[in-house]
Structure 1
Amino acid sequence: MTGLNICIDIDGTLTEPYYWLDYANQYFNKTIGVEEVIQYEIHEVMGVSFEAFIEFYRALGPEMHAKAQIRSNVHEVLWKLNEKHQIYYVTARNENMTDITRRWLEDHKLPKGELYLLGSHHKAEKAKELHCDIFIEDSFENCVELSSAGFEVILLDCNYNQHSLLPGMVRVKGWTEIDKIIDGMIKESGIA
């Protein structure tokens, strides 16, 4: 297969970005609204220690990931991209979430791209290994690292990633814009 190597994050990129909020509010007895989620790190949003977040994640992470809602238009755009390009799912989730993650992808009938659970937000090395042409992400910090390593990055707009873009980064509101950007890249490069 020719075409682009497209790396795609999962949480906040394929999933709705705030799917964890109701769980965290209930667990920590908070009433944080979506508009207040202006930081990426959940423990900072909730005003709790990182250790408290880890306990929350151990208790509810599997259920949250299994029940996460999918973003609008993901299904249609990914299947279109899958016709001509290689799709790689690259997530910071730990390996112990492999089965839940695979099941979520299957339950939402998404293309069977290779899945990499890194257990880390540092994704540039994996992107190099996969000869990534474009990375789709919601974490601004991940986008900075990826663009600094020379990758083209599409940043899905969220309350928590409102920072000035660096060269190689483009901000989009949703998956229909991603489809248009990738179509434009294909036309510019002459890839069939």
Structure 2
Amino acid sequence: MKEKRFGIDIDGTVTCPASLVPFINEAFSLNITLQDITKYDLAEALNISPDKMRIWFDATEPDIYSSSPLAEGAAAILSKWQQQFHLLFISARRRHLLEITETWFQEKKITYDHLELIGSHNKIEAAKRNKVDIFFEDKHDNAVMLAEELRIPVILFNTPYNQDPIPENVIRVDDWYEADACVQQWIKTNEITPLPAYKKA
């Protein structure tokens, strides 16, 4: 019987964080890598006007989402977890992108118990409503707010744009295999030990 309820972000967490880099390079005649995106705000990170970035993103969003590759290990670990836990995907994507999102999950063969596009980065109410026990996120501010407001552990997938300090119950991981190691420890002991305890040999 499934007991624990996992809240899971999609972009930069289930999808590869570098998914939008080729689109950025093509649109703005750049030659960047993910390492060059050191802030979550793309306009600020790339010194592009916010209006220009917003117009581009609104137009390109469906293509980015429909073609995003999975993050390393996501398929294997989520498939494993599906047998044991409730998987509740809670994303800041806007609701008109639901069909594209559902199709992507079907194509990637990722099953879930709940999928919610809230159209906002504030995931606290959705996480409360869905009685989430642990959350998986890539946005630093979201991770900190969820951990502090809900007093739950949050797994933060390490990226160049989320390197600000984190509280004790936010744990950084480099991939889904490390996330799974954290989860297994949490299930056994009700605690999560910060890295580097889970670093792969």
Q: Report the TM-score when normalising by structure 2.
A: 0.90
Tell me the equivalent position of 2:97.
Answer: 97
Aligned-partner SS, 1:159: coil
Checking the alignment, whether the CA contact within 8 Å between 1:24 and 1:46 is kept in structure 2 is: no
Return the alpha-carbon distance in structure 2 between the equivalents of residues 126 and 169 of structure 1: 19
**Percent identity over the alignment?**
29
Tell me the equivalent position of 2:15.
Answer: 15
More off after superposition, 147-156 vs 50-59: 50-59
Aligned-partner SS, 1:87: strand
Return the alpha-carbon distance in structure 1 between the equivalents of residues 35 and 186 of structure 2: 33
2:62 corresponds to 1:62: yes
2:76 corresponds to 1:76: yes
The alpha carbon displacement at 1:47 in A equals 1.4
Checking the alignment, whether the CA contact within 8 Å between 1:30 and 1:46 is kept in structure 2 is: no
Q: Which has the higher contact order (CA 8 A, sep 6+)?
A: 1
Uncovered stretches (5+) of structure 1, i.e. residues with no partner: none
Uncovered stretches (5+) of structure 2, i.e. residues with no partner: 191-201
More off after superposition, 94-103 vs 23-32: 23-32
Residues paired across the two proteins, number: 189
Name the aligned partner's letter for residue 182 of structure 1.
V
Checking the alignment, whether the CA contact within 8 Å between 1:86 and 1:113 is kept in structure 2 is: yes
What do residues 5-64 of structure 1 show as CA deviations (whole Å, max 9, x unaligned)?
Answer: 001000000011011011112112222232211111122222122221221112211011
Q: Report the TM-score when normalising by structure 1.
A: 0.94
Return the alpha-carbon distance in structure 2 between the equivalents of residues 181 and 34 of structure 1: 25
Tell me the equivalent position of 1:164.
Answer: 165
Name the aligned partner's letter for residue 183 of structure 1.
Q
